[in-house]
Structure 1
């Protein structure tokens, strides 16, 4: 019985030694996470930031949750941006006749733009809430916040701005379509050409078209933003 008790005691002591020998991997995981974030920050293609590989996920341990706050937002951003590529095709205009023909398309475009903008706002709010709940070490927080600003804050603002520019195009195009409809007797389309009955009416139409043309640079900027938001896939020409 004494011998048995000694064996049991020995097993307990071995267990204690094994528990004591457990290594705290957090410092190494934190260093790996900082290095990963710095590598992503210096990348020429920060948006999208990219998924973690299996070795990367293992290397950063529990910090993978903080990384996924960013990638989950970017997945949502890409989904919100995707329908806007169809809006770009609608907003690529070559004539007054096309504007009139696409009136319903411009109305639908404004609804799509509003829906996508709302989704971006929701995704940004969700990401900001998740970021606020993270408790990061002092040496990690500034690095993480830098990447967060580049991969979440800035892309959200850029897509919202792109949607606003595209909405302005759709709004002004609808203004042209309504103007033409209001003067249907004096504005006609013959062999692809627009014929206006009076110089005064022509001047009023030209002013509206000039305002629409002035937004072409903004539309191209929006196209570039959408290409980046959906991962570089080509947008509608």
Structure 2
């Protein structure tokens, strides 16, 4: 009886040890590589899949490597993507009358883009530092580098492309607002239209409006490029 109990305890102990050692570092690394190669890299756009708890466990310590990327996206969404979407939907005037009446608001929105750009720089600097501190075997390093490029470097580069045309577009709106302010007595608003009798001023106003429209178009094209990068297509 005692011998049988000892054998049973030995088997249980061996089973526990095998379970504890069931996933080697190589197994964890291969599970992480497989996830990146099948569920991240082939997918269109720059979306960040969220593995379930079981899958994260299978990555072992490499789950922390993926967390570098997910934390970056959390920071970027909170300080850049969401504020930018809100600014675009509320900031750009929808009529000439709004250009004339919302100059301070438009200037504040334009200043907010500077803060977003600074926040993006800080976010990617943090992610780059965390990535540089990772220790990765060669087989994982190449796959991770491609993933980091897809989910961090490319979104950052595309966001950075948006800031100049966006600043130009809002700057053109403010230039038009300044022109309107400087010539208030000579301008009469009739609904969505402006009535200007002075031919020289009318020409100036038309030139400013044409410049604003052109720069808004460039901003919209940059936004469309960002959407294609994020969602694919």
TM-score range, shorter chain: 0.7 to 0.9
Residues 1-237 of structure 1 mapped to structure 2, 5 A cutoff: 22=21, 25-39=24-38, 40-45=40-45, 47-80=46-79, 81-224=81-224
Q: TM-score, normalised by structure 1?
A: 0.81
Which blocks of at least 5 consecutive residues in structure 1 are unaligned? 1-10, 233-237
Deviation at 1:224, TM superposition (A): 4.2
Deviation at 1:91, TM superposition (A): 4.4
More off after superposition, 183-192 vs 171-180: 183-192
Aligned residues of 1:84 and 1:226 also touching (Cα < 8 A): no
Q: TM-score, normalised by structure 2?
A: 0.82
Aligned residues of 1:70 and 1:151 also touching (Cα < 8 A): yes
RMSD: 2.6
Counterpart residue number, 2:6: none
State the alpha-carbon separation in 2 of the partners of residues 56 and 217 from structure 1: 44
Aligned residues of 1:100 and 1:180 also touching (Cα < 8 A): yes
Gap change, CA 1:82 and 1:226, over 3 Å in 2: farther
State the alpha-carbon separation in 2 of the partners of residues 159 and 76 from structure 1: 14
State the alpha-carbon separation in 2 of the partners of residues 171 and 61 from structure 1: 50
State the alpha-carbon separation in 1 of the partners of residues 192 and 72 from structure 2: 45
State the alpha-carbon separation in 1 of the partners of residues 61 and 224 from structure 2: 35
Aligned residues of 2:172 and 2:215 also touching (Cα < 8 A): no
Which blocks of at least 5 consecutive residues in structure 2 are unaligned? 1-9
State the alpha-carbon separation in 2 of the partners of residues 50 and 134 from structure 1: 21
State the alpha-carbon separation in 1 of the partners of residues 164 and 78 from structure 2: 17
